[in-house]
């Protein structure tokens, strides 16, 4: 272990040749040098492999495997990693030069922290700041009401991620991180530091949900199933999981509305969410759903 890096930055990627060089280079310019980069290519059909291999650095380890979605790709990267902490970085985002230094400083101040999160911002592809997320207070409770975290900002000890992996059910894709954060929160104190160290890039090719209404419904159904199935979730949170179920249903309502789904379906999920936890009406999401319903 003495020669192993402190951080393993795992970059899952699929057909992101246009973005991945910038992502990798943002890691290579880190002020703290104690890291490895693990790029896991999830069966890309573009020239991602050529782009990655054109970046000259002995810190980069490249793996290519059959397409199996992001959760399985992240799990593979974690398995082959050798660092004390694993950090998952999306292949179209970037980290700032102080990202790993800030994480190291935080870990030293919180010895043996199992999992923690650093702040982030969101920018458009031209670099315009859209929003900063630096007001998180207590992840173990806030995570129940929605995924407030950026995967780029999460650091997990290697042994913890190996014991609690991403759910590889492909129908869950895009919600697999939220499901894991809830599961981890039921098992560990999920620490955080609001120092902004990374940025999520919003671009036209980025999509967190399918426009296929059948897939949206299945995704939400599977998410709720897995959250409620976990015994530790139920033991630690109890009836508070109603917040998560309600949030998932209004999340479905919003994305069904965005996908121009059936108005009855949108109202069905919206009302289910509000009935389960009335606090959903105070979210910005509720206003967004209401506006979309008016446009129907």
In a domain? residue 208: no
Query: What tens digit of pLDDT does each residue of 93-127 get?
Result: 999 999 999 999 999 999 989 999 999 999 998 99
Residue 7's H or E segment, with its range, is: strand 7-13
Same domain, 236 and 181: no
Same domain, 37 and 126: yes
Same domain, 270 and 189: no
Q: Residue 244 above 60 pLDDT?
A: yes
Domain end marker among 173, 202, 231: 202
Same domain, 280 and 170: no
d(CA 198, CA 88): 12
What's the average model confidence in pLDDT over 27-44?
A: 98
d(CA 114, CA 188): 7
Residues 6+ apart with CB under 8 A from 203: 19, 92, 124, 125
Residues 6+ apart with CB under 8 A from 48: 13, 14, 15, 16, 17, 20, 41
In a domain? residue 227: yes
Same domain, 233 and 138: no
Q: Residue 170 above 90 pLDDT?
A: yes
Domain end marker among 145, 167, 202: 202
Which candidate, 235, 233, 238, 246, places its Cα nearest to that of 276? Answer: 246
In a domain? residue 207: no
How many structural domains are present in the chain?
Answer: 2
Query: What tens digit of pLDDT does each residue of 175-211 get?
Result: 999 999 999 999 999 999 999 999 999 876 655 545 7
State the residue range of the domain holding 100: 7-202
Which candidate, 199, 200, 213, places its Cα nearest to that of 254? Answer: 213
Domain end marker among 144, 176, 202: 202
Same domain, 225 and 142: no
Same domain, 77 and 133: yes
Q: Residue 288 above 90 pLDDT?
A: yes
What's the average model confidence in pLDDT over 229-255?
A: 97
d(CA 84, CA 96): 21
d(CA 183, CA 226): 10
Same domain, 131 and 31: yes
Question: Residue 60 belongs to a domain with what CATH number?
Answer: 3.90.550.10
Same domain, 230 and 288: yes
In a domain? residue 246: yes
d(CA 268, CA 105): 47
Same domain, 191 and 47: yes
């Amino acid at each position: 272990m003495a020669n192993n890096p402190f951080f393993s930055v795992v970059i899952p990627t699929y057909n992101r040749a246009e973005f991945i060089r910038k992502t990798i280079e943002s890691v290579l310019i880190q002020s703290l040098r104690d890291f490895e980069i693990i790029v896991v290519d999830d069966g890309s059909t573009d020239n991602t492999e050529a782009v990655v291999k054109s970046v000259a650095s002995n810190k980069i380890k490249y793996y290519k495997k059959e397409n199996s979605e992001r959760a399985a790709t992240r799990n593979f990267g974690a398995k082959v990693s050798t660092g004390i902490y694993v950090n998952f970085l999306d292949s179209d985002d970037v980290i700032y030069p102080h990202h790993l230094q800030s994480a190291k400083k935080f870990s030293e101040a919180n010895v043996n922290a199992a999992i923690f999160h650093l702040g982030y911002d969101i920018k458009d592809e031209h670099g315009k700041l859209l929003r900063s997320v630096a007001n998180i207070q207590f992840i173990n409770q806030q995570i129940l009401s929605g995924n407030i975290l950026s995967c780029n900002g999460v650091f997990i000890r290697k042994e913890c991620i190996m014991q609690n992996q991403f759910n590889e059910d492909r129908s869950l894709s895009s919600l697999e991180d939220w499901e894991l954060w809830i599961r981890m929160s039921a098992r560990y104190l999920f620490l955080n530091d609001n120092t902004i160290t990374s940025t999520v890039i919003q671009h036209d090719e980025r999509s967190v949900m399918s426009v296929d209404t059948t897939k949206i419904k299945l995704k939400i159904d599977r998410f709720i199933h897995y959250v409620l199935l976990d015994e530790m979730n139920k033991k630690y949170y109890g009836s508070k999981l109603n917040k998560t179920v309600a949030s998932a249903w209004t999340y479905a309502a919003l994305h069904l509305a965005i996908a121009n789904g059936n108005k009855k379906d949108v109202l069905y999920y919206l009302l289910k969410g509000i009935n389960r936890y009335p606090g959903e009406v105070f979210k910005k999401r509720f206003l967004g759903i209401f506006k979309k319903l008016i446009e129907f």
